Amino acid sequence: MWERVRGVLDEAFARLSAVLAADLPGIVAMLIVVVSAIVAAFVIRAILRAALARIGFDRRAREWGMTSGRDLEPGHEPSVVVAKGAFWIVIVTGLALALEVLGATTVSAFGLSILVLLPHLVVAAIILLVGFGLARFLERSALISAVNQQIRQARLIALAVKWLVLVLSAAMALEHVGIGGPLPTIAFSIVVGGIVL
């Protein structure tokens, strides 16, 4: 009986050794890619924070109306948000590449789909950020212009301009990512048509 148990254990360990020998290079390569992505993410975040602080990005964002004139809490400045965004983009890209390097079919397909979707998400995030900054700037401009022309509904006009630009940028970002098909464009057309009517 002990001979039989020993034979079963030997066979199980032989199978385990074969699996480890086959998958070990992929696992090691995956770990190297993940560690490299984490190191690259920290380096890129530090470089971006230093570069954005050097060019005065936070001050310019306040001047352009992207942030309010009030003091922001630490960690919520535009330069910190951009650096954090770049950090997580590098981390997600590294994880997707690590899954691709691992080579399992389901995991590999998932990693490949993340790699395909990632550039669209980055461009959509840029569209939303630009739209938000443009909405704040146009809101202030419309408010100042309406107050100078002594229009009573100045705040309402400025708010309408802001939300129109925000809805437009959200529709553009959703269409770029491919969420909802033509629905964001149709919804935006209905909203603008209703406002014009």
pTM to 2 decimal places: 0.55
The per-residue pLDDT string of the chain (197 residues; one tens digit each, 9 = 90 and over) reads 667 767 766 777 677 666 656 666 777 777 888 889 889 989 988 898 888 888 887 777 777 666 655 555 555 677 787 888 888 888 888 877 777 777 655 555 665 666 677 778 778 888 888 888 888 888 888 888 888 888 888 888 888 888 888 888 888 888 877 776 677 677 777 777 777 77
**Which tokens is 37 given?**
């992505």
**Which tokens is 42 given?**
């920290």
